[in-house]
Amino acid sequence: MSETNPYDSLRQISEMWEKGLNGLLFQTINYNPLIQVTKMGIDANSRYIEMLKRNRELMASYMNLPTKNDVANAVKQTMQAEEKIDILEEQIWNLQDSFTLATQEQNKVLEEILEFTKHIHLEWQKASEELAALSDLKSEFEVMKKLLQQDKKEPVLAAK
């Protein structure tokens, strides 16, 4: 006597059921009148859905309520505005950095101008002092010249 495993018989029954159901499904799917009826139902349903969408949008416009498209457009515009704000912020930071560098450069140039001005002022003072000394020398030379001219004239008078 051979022992039969209850699981083997259950497996055989399951395989028979699977083959039978698969065959029924394939016959149903390939059944042309069913496909045509399903297609007509889908077409009618899609027309009905489109009509509902149009009516919903029309009612929303009369009631001044935002539609799904309005909300989507608002979100899209908000995102674009945020991106532009980010770009502007970056440009502002770059400008601030540029202004900081420009201010530093201007401060350096001003320091150099101050140093140069101080140097020129000192040179001007030295030149003024030298001019005053030269003026004193000139006046001394003129006095000496007059004295020399008088000395030259006196011997001439004495010789006469």
154 and 129 within one domain? yes
157 and 98 within one domain? yes
Domain that holds residue 29: 10-65
94 and 43 within one domain? no
Q: What is the pLDDT of residues 18-59, one digit of tens each?
A: 999 988 888 777 777 877 888 899 999 999 999 998 888 888
91 and 128 within one domain? yes
This prediction has a pTM of 0.43
Q: What is the pLDDT of residues 70-117, one digit of tens each?
A: 899 999 999 999 999 999 999 999 999 999 999 999 999 999 999 999
From 65, 88, 108, give the residue that closes a domain. Answer: 65
Return the pLDDT at 80: 97
Tell me the torsion sign for CA atoms 27, 30, 32, 34: positive
Whether pLDDT at 9 is above 80: yes
How many folded domains does the chain comprise? 2
Per the listing, tokens 């350096």 go with 108
92 and 56 within one domain? no
Is 130 within the bounds of a domain?
Answer: yes
Written as one string, the DSSP assignment of the chain is -PPPPHHHHHHHHHHHHHHHHHHHHHHHHT-HHHHHHHHHHHHHHHHHHHHHHHHHHHHHHHTT---HHHHHHHHHHHHHHHHHHHHHHHHHHHHHHHHHHHHHHHHHHHHHHHHHHHHHHHHHHHHHHHHHHHHHHHHHHHHHHHHHHHHHHHHHHHH-
